[in-house]
Amino acid sequence: MANISIIGGGSWGLAMALLLHKNKHSVRVWEYNRENVLKLQKERQNEDYLKDIVFPEDIFFTNDKAEIFTHEPEILIFVVPSAFLRQTLQSFQILFSQNASKVKAVVSLVKGLEENSLKRMSEVCAEELPFCLNDKICCLSGPSHAEEVSKGIPTLVVVAGENPEVLEYVQNEFSNPFFRVYTTQDIVGVEIGAAVKNIISIAAGVVSGLGFGDNTMGALLTRGLTEIKRLGWALSADPETFSGLSGLGDLVTTAISTHSRNRYVGFQLGQGKKLDTILKEMVMVAEGIETTKNIRELKEKLNISMPITEEMYQLLYNGKEPLKALSDLMKRDLRNE
């Protein structure tokens, strides 16, 4: 049994808490939103994030940063929106320093790139955590919707990092009969796949919202995977990673699932709704919106062709009409595959 502290009480953080509790671990969850914490403490539920899920009494929820360290956690898990990761880490810095000696693994479930710096989430963690924890940083990704993990639906994921011993430790502590964890040392490839698939998922939603069919969706996912590979290769990722769980697996699942917030945004856009209206109606964050801007900036910096990403950027940030964006993709110059 391990002592585990989760920073972030959204849908994925809550699903992780439930999963790890089922694995007989001691779990404490910090959430910044005090109203959500009070609801979890009193009702043991948060229907806005996970419907029909009741959390056991011995999962500890708090809004007090110090309280998630009172059981001397061996595993730290970060599950906050990418735009807030650095400032969240900074707000915990003193506590991290005081408790670093007990920590065996740091697991990021955050997907995206940091604005302006364009750094991956594991790089942000490395800069803000005590140096002694750097070789313990890893990320977990794959086709894994929180709604299904919380219900024990069979799920396969991958944990990536530089230290094989840390990866094996996380693999053993997280795995159970319905949640199977693989390992890889290609953390660059895993994080890039996790980020870019959210952009392609928005595009998949647009395709569905416009009423297009399976031919269009199959083409979109195939060419979307090509964009993920191009960016990954430019950053020296292992090409094999993109055929795995954090590449093809996560891409397909996020693009076709009704659980996907990014697909939902794209679908609503395809149906004619304006982005501001869509976001006002959503409780949770669609990471792909911010990621589209950041990945677009990175691909421009690296001079990489990513036409789907470019069209989603024009749609989200410059008000391009969805049908025009899809039409312009079809009318690009013909070329070899």
Residue 329 has pLDDT above 90, yes or no: yes
Task: Name the packing angle between helices 287-302 and 261-270 (round to 10°).
Answer: 90
Q: Is the separation of the CB atoms in 161 and 213 below 8 Å? A: no
Backbone angles phi, psi at 50, to 5 degrees: -135, 110
Residue 157 has pLDDT above 90, yes or no: yes
Rounded to an integer, the average pLDDT of 88-105 is 97
Reference 120, options 179, 58, 187, 205; nearest CA is 187
pLDDT of 155 reads 98
Q: How does the average pLDDT of the chain come out, rounded?
A: 96
Q: Confidence class of residue 285 from pLDDT cuts 50, 70 and 90? A: confident
pLDDT of 69 reads 97
Rounded to an integer, the average pLDDT of 18-31 is 98
The 3-class SS string of 37-77 reads HHHHHHHCCECCCECCCCCCCCCEEECCHHHHHCCCCCEEE
* CA distances in angstroms from 307 to 50, 191, 195, 327, 333, listed in the order given: 35, 20, 16, 12, 12
Helices (H), 153-249: 164-174, 187-209, 214-234
Q: Confidence class of residue 5 from pLDDT cuts 50, 70 and 90? A: very high
Q: Is the separation of the CB atoms in 11 and 149 below 8 Å? A: no
pLDDT of 235 reads 98
Percent of residues, the chain, with pLDDT higher than 90: 95
Residue 336 has pLDDT above 90, yes or no: no
Q: Confidence class of residue 284 from pLDDT cuts 50, 70 and 90? A: confident
Residue 29 has pLDDT above 90, yes or no: yes
How many Å apart are CA 24 and CA 31, to the nearest integer?
Answer: 22
- In the annotation, is 273 catalytic? no
pLDDT of 337 reads 86
**Model pTM score:** 0.95
Q: N- to C-terminal Cα distance for the chain?
A: 50
Residue 135 has pLDDT above 90, yes or no: yes
Percent of residues, the chain, with pLDDT higher than 70: 100
pLDDT in tens, 158-193: 999 999 999 999 999 999 999 999 999 999 999 999
pLDDT of 84 reads 96
| For the chain, the helix, strand and coil percentages under 3-state DSSP, each to the nearest 5 | 55, 15, 30
Element (H, E) at 235: none
Question: How many CB atoms lie under 10 A from the CB of residue 217?
Answer: 17
Residue 335 has pLDDT above 90, yes or no: no
Write out the two tokens for 298. 């990175």
pLDDT of 52 reads 94
Catalytic residue among 197, 301, 320, 331: 197
